[in-house]
């Protein structure tokens, strides 16, 4: 999963400008209404209203930065660090021990989002739980050691403290 979008988002700007094919597929997670605009109509609008083209370029630049971050994470960050970053970012009240969150994604969906496989996500969750960073009850995750989770998310700490790392 490269990214997710919400209401009012646009997709497929790359092929609009370079004339190539789509580089990814879009999957709606909820009932969705989609509007397809013909390439010639959108290009004409961009020529008449440069601010539309600039807004589209801004969106594309934001996505390129996001994709560069994904590539960097996949190349240089172990799975446990990627999972810690995801959990740390998803916590409503970071820094407070005992804060819990509902994990809305399955392990397979989370693995797709973090660029790995379900088995490594399960192993990373187990490692975080074994080391006391989190506890779990089905889809509920409780952050037991928020400082350690934040350190893991930054890549400052090894969750296993000398043991095997989940990569």
On whether residue 64 sits in a domain, the answer given is yes
Q: Which of 24, 51, 75 is at the close of a domain?
A: 75
Instruction: Encode pLDDT of 57-79 as tens digits.
Output: 999 999 889 888 888 888 889 99
Are both 94 and 135 inside the same structural domain? yes
On whether residue 163 sits in a domain, the answer given is no
Q: Which of 46, 75, 104 is at the close of a domain?
A: 75
**Whose CA is closest to 96, among 130, 164, 143?**
143
Are both 83 and 94 inside the same structural domain? yes
On whether residue 8 sits in a domain, the answer given is no
pLDDT of residue 162: 41
Would the pLDDT of 155 be above 60? yes
Are both 148 and 82 inside the same structural domain? yes
To the nearest whole percent, how much of the chain has pLDDT over 90? Answer: 47
On whether residue 6 sits in a domain, the answer given is no
pLDDT of residue 47: 96
| Structural domain count of the chain | 2
**Full residue range of the structural domain in which residue 89 is found:** 78-154
On whether residue 29 sits in a domain, the answer given is yes
- Please tell me the pTM assigned to this model: 0.64
């Amino acid at each position: 999963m490269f990214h997710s979008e919400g209401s009012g988002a646009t997709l497929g700007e790359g092929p609009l400008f370079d004339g190539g094919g789509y580089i990814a597929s879009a999957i709606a997670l909820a009932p969705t209404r989609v509007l397809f605009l013909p390439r010639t109509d959108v290009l004409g609008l961009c020529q008449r209203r440069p601010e539309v083209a600039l807004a589209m370029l801004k969106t594309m630049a934001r996505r390129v930065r996001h994709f560069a971050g994904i590539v960097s994470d996949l190349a240089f960050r172990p799975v446990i660090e990627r999972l810690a970053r995801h959990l740390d970012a998803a916590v409503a009240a970071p820094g407070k021990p005992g804060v819990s969150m509902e994990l809305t994604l399955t392990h397979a969906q989370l693995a797709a989002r973090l660029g790995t496989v379900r088995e490594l996500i399960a192993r990373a969750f187990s490692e975080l739980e074994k080391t006391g960073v989190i506890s779990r009850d089905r889809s509920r995750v409780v952050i037991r050691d928020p400082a350690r989770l934040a350190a893991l998310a930054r890549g400052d700490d090894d969750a296993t403290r000398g043991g095997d790392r989940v990569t």
